[in-house]
Structure 1
């Protein structure tokens, strides 16, 4: 257990940084300083008291990233209650189920999400409030909370008759072992897994973000990853507020054009990104530019190719604002070709690894020390890892971790908890990989997706897909086993086909050519027998991972 405590870190940060900007909505141009944010938290604490909220009670939260989403989150955990952030991509049925399964008694919702919620399906919720301005949207019995909110200014002045000062930024002592968050990675009604994260779990991640200077007093960040997801929450939000960082919120992952505009305006010091965005930029902008005329010729000439790489790196750096220390990719594996290219041009990027069950960070390395194809070094002093393999450096095995970041368990699901956390406290991640002598992890794939070949070879379809996804007219792919043979399902990139003048009837021919090239890049036991065109994009989880189980038949 850590000696530091997240609630105490926030109390200290909010006092010391009270004059600095804390939260800004990029589109609404609405901002809160640290002191203004603290005042809004104090008002919500009054509301929680009026609603009879007790320590350990659950508060559900769904909406796009905005300052009030952040304020509700912080107000809840500094009160001693438990926040239940819900991914905005969940279906209404899943949202109802999560609210009920978590035993949430209050709900804060963005207006468009509230319109999809049926109050008859969330009977234990006492009241719901809007993330637009915290007005009461619904009250199950009477209208006392609605009246309270209409008079919140008067109530606030009564509580602080001499005015709210930095001394009033004082939060109760909340033990590190207390659950602070229940995070649902799936909304499936038949088997819900609400990850219980403690104050200690969050503290470890936040401390790492502050002590490693990912964030610092007065630094800037553009937050566009969903804050209901562990990666964005920890490093775009929680660690940033503990350091005194100014967070500019974009609401949700924007188009590349809007993202680049925002980066140019804010000039962030750190960029947390999902690989999908880097891969799109590489495939749609960088790679085509390198395959044209003079540039293509220059790439074949020693020294000139170095100049081309430097030029590409400078343009990419400027498009992200130009002032960032590094770009951290996480949340999913980074395509190997994209990673190799970014490393070749000396772009300031690194790749981390984590799980929601670890709030989320397990491994990370500063970009200057980053080893390509790895996902960083296991966090020293916070986490430890082992590979379930007779030779962890050479033979892949399941990655198991334990330490300060490992969850308390799955809410109301002790059986699922026992299946992943053993008696010695090791969390079995379900990821397969190796680890070198300095504790740097190299992930091969998911144990559930691994395919065992007829001659006993372990095949990791993700590695094959990463090569196929960079080929002509491939938007996304999935390698599956059919009748003992490997088949690649491909959803074509019709936009790229149109630009290249490839007709619909010729796409299968292009895929057959892709197959021949692919099979020269993989091991003999990894060769694909055919590529099948898939009519639609593959169905995905809210975290944008393909639901493989739907296609393994």
Structure 2
């Protein structure tokens, strides 16, 4: 078994808890701007003192409402300023935060609320309130409920006005590193979500060792600012939120994905957190725009892409030559500067997690002046376990362990993890905990990968998703899926082949890219179904498949594919909130299409 460890950099005291920094900074540096809050069309700064006072007000309201230390308080909201206030207020009151994705169904909400035993729920909107009421209508004991949009936080603050500052301080200081901070329910591609028990120490140890270690450079720049738009109910966005608060990086929240582009240009962040699909869409939009502007512009863009990729590859292996540097300088003026301007002009770095980002796309963004650092982890590991770092970014890997983490690859290829960031088990599920953490303390991730001699981790797939063909060939679907999905017209790709004679794929098309394609090709009148069958579209997907097939052996190559007339979305039930494909649901819902491929 190959192992690789990185020593602890920041030894967080077990007396610390996540809420401490809010009150310490509010006292020591009250004028520091922590958050930029969008009110109407303008961004309003929120100082450390203002943030502390709002957190304290809501925390006192929770105490007045009867919330006791260790009680679970659920939070169902989009990514917005109030989410962060409530999250820290729950900790300040000594309670445990239970995030719920704002897109969750009544059945999912019912499971999380009843399994966690949450006695209080804070929701964003009246629609969320209706979901909670519907979810709990048959339960005898219903949780108390406050709605942000209906003035719920003001109500809590007013009701807690008589709670003494000393009472709040006692509540906060009574919670330490070993106490439960949050229950994050895995989004679950199969079965019921499991509640991951994460302590204050899990979160703070992770946040401080990441912020003062591998990514310190990103959080020490002058004018540092970050735009958060991924769901804060997701463990990756959540830990980044904590890192940003700990490092006093100015945070802006974008609750609607449609507002990301204008908010980037207005807020001008230096740092961004995303999942691969976000960066794929940025690239695809730029390519579609260039192609729609005429054949010459399209050719310039594609040449600029080739140069960016070549320059990045050269920089990773000794440095680019003079000719390549000149070409990059030219295309920086013609193409790359416009791309950076679309992100606000200050963005130079981003962290990407959740799944693999294609190597070519990573090289392109680096060559264009926005370096993307891929990382790896799971909810059970407080999100990250490994991450690439400035100055040592090995594209194609998810980096080295961050300080205090040990990674190993077992003989069967499974990635194992140890460290203070690893959760202490699943809520109300000792059987699942025993399956996940072995007697030697290793957490079994279920992912398959490899460690190189320098300690860089490469993920090749999920252990349970390894396809075994009828001929006995083991195939990891992720690399091929990533390659196909990189095409501008493609939204999702799912590789098939378990117990089948050959590998095949289901492909869906990106609705936004498809509209641009229809306009550019004089086919605006075609229906979605007609476009899916259009020879030019089929040929474009075939090209993406062919490019992926070059990278793998013949038994692993996709022999046939079908373009589905509907996309995989969270609303359709085919994606988790973190945008992972629910393979079992897709296999069930598109069984006829699959049988037709192998008929």
TM-score (structure 1 length as normaliser): 0.86
Displacement after TM superposition at 1:325 (Å): 4.9
Q: Give the corresponding residue for 1:104.
A: 118
Asked if the contact 1:94/1:187 (under 8 Å) is kept, the reply is: no
Q: 1:485 to 1:295 in 2, by over 3 A?
A: closer
Asked if the contact 1:15/1:169 (under 8 Å) is kept, the reply is: no
Asked if the contact 1:107/1:125 (under 8 Å) is kept, the reply is: no
Distance 1:188 1:460 in 2: 17
Displacement after TM superposition at 1:223 (Å): 1.4
Q: Give the corresponding residue for 2:24.
A: 12
Q: Give the corresponding residue for 1:417.
A: 433
Deviates more, 1:173-182 or 1:450-459: 450-459
Distance 1:517 1:149 in 2: 58
Distance 2:57 2:488 in 1: 56
- Note the residue ranges of structure 2 that are not aligned, 5 or more in a row: 1-10, 308-322, 524-530, 569-573, 592-599
Displacement after TM superposition at 1:403 (Å): 0.3
Q: Give the corresponding residue for 2:316.
A: none
Q: 1:316 to 1:206 in 2, by over 3 A?
A: same
Asked if the contact 2:374/2:388 (under 8 Å) is kept, the reply is: yes
Displacement after TM superposition at 1:387 (Å): 0.3
Asked if the contact 2:396/2:458 (under 8 Å) is kept, the reply is: yes
Query: Which of the residues 98, 102, 105 maps onto 1:88?
Result: 102
Asked if the contact 2:348/2:370 (under 8 Å) is kept, the reply is: no
Q: Give the corresponding residue for 2:234.
A: 229
Alignment of 1:92-241 (within 5 A): 92-111=106-125, 112-118=127-133, 119-121=136-138, 123-132=140-149, 134-135=151-152, 152-153=160-161, 155=162, 159=164, 171-186=172-187, 191-212=192-213, 213=216, 214-216=218-220, 219-235=224-240, 237-241=241-245
Q: 1:520 to 1:374 in 2, by over 3 A?
A: closer
Q: 1:95 to 1:296 in 2, by over 3 A?
A: same
Displacement after TM superposition at 1:174 (Å): 1.7
Q: Give the corresponding residue for 2:328.
A: 306
Alignment of 1:280-359 (within 5 A): 280-286=281-287, 289=290, 292-293=295-296, 296=299, 303=324, 305-311=327-333, 312-345=335-368, 347-359=370-382
Displacement after TM superposition at 1:27 (Å): 4.7
* 1:480-521 alpha-carbon deviations (Å, 9 max, x no partner): 116221111111343354133575442445545554554344
1:550 aligns with 2:565: no
Distance 1:456 1:535 in 2: 32
Displacement after TM superposition at 1:543 (Å): 1.0
Alignment of 1:316-465 (within 5 A): 316-345=339-368, 347-380=370-403, 382-389=404-411, 397-453=413-469, 456-465=472-481
The higher-RCO structure (CA 8 Å, 6+ apart) is 2
Asked if the contact 1:20/1:246 (under 8 Å) is kept, the reply is: no
Displacement after TM superposition at 1:294 (Å): 6.2
Q: 1:78 to 1:209 in 2, by over 3 A?
A: farther
Distance 1:86 1:22 in 2: 25
* 1:226-278 alpha-carbon deviations (Å, 9 max, x no partner): 1111111111x2121122222111124x22xx323322322223211221111
- Note the residue ranges of structure 1 that are not aligned, 5 or more in a row: 138-145, 391-396
Deviates more, 1:323-332 or 1:53-62: 323-332
Deviates more, 1:340-349 or 1:203-212: 340-349
Asked if the contact 1:336/1:466 (under 8 Å) is kept, the reply is: no
Distance 1:324 1:346 in 2: 9
Q: 1:524 to 1:261 in 2, by over 3 A?
A: same
Query: Which of the residues 37, 61, 64 maps onto 1:25?
Result: 37
Asked if the contact 2:93/2:171 (under 8 Å) is kept, the reply is: no
Q: Give the corresponding residue for 1:75.
A: 89
Alignment of 1:462-541 (within 5 A): 462-471=478-487, 473-481=489-497, 483-493=500-510, 494-495=514-515, 497-498=517-518, 499-501=520-522, 504-506=533-535, 507-512=537-542, 514-538=544-568, 539-541=574-576
TM-score (structure 2 length as normaliser): 0.80
Distance 1:295 1:75 in 2: 51
Q: Give the corresponding residue for 2:317.
A: none
1:52 aligns with 2:74: no
3-state DSSP of counterpart to 1:532: strand
Distance 2:84 2:487 in 1: 40
Asked if the contact 1:20/1:34 (under 8 Å) is kept, the reply is: yes
Q: 1:520 to 1:379 in 2, by over 3 A?
A: closer
Distance 1:461 1:309 in 2: 35
Displacement after TM superposition at 1:309 (Å): 4.5
The total of aligned residue pairs comes to 525
3-state DSSP of counterpart to 2:119: strand
3-state DSSP of counterpart to 2:507: strand
Q: Give the corresponding residue for 1:62.
A: 76
3-state DSSP of counterpart to 1:124: coil
Deviates more, 1:402-411 or 1:475-484: 475-484
Q: 1:364 to 1:150 in 2, by over 3 A?
A: closer
* 1:23-66 alpha-carbon deviations (Å, 9 max, x no partner): 33325456532212222222233223322222111000001222
Distance 2:244 2:545 in 1: 45
3-state DSSP of counterpart to 2:483: helix
Distance 1:461 1:177 in 2: 39
Q: 1:100 to 1:313 in 2, by over 3 A?
A: same
Q: 1:352 to 1:131 in 2, by over 3 A?
A: same
Asked if the contact 2:26/2:48 (under 8 Å) is kept, the reply is: yes
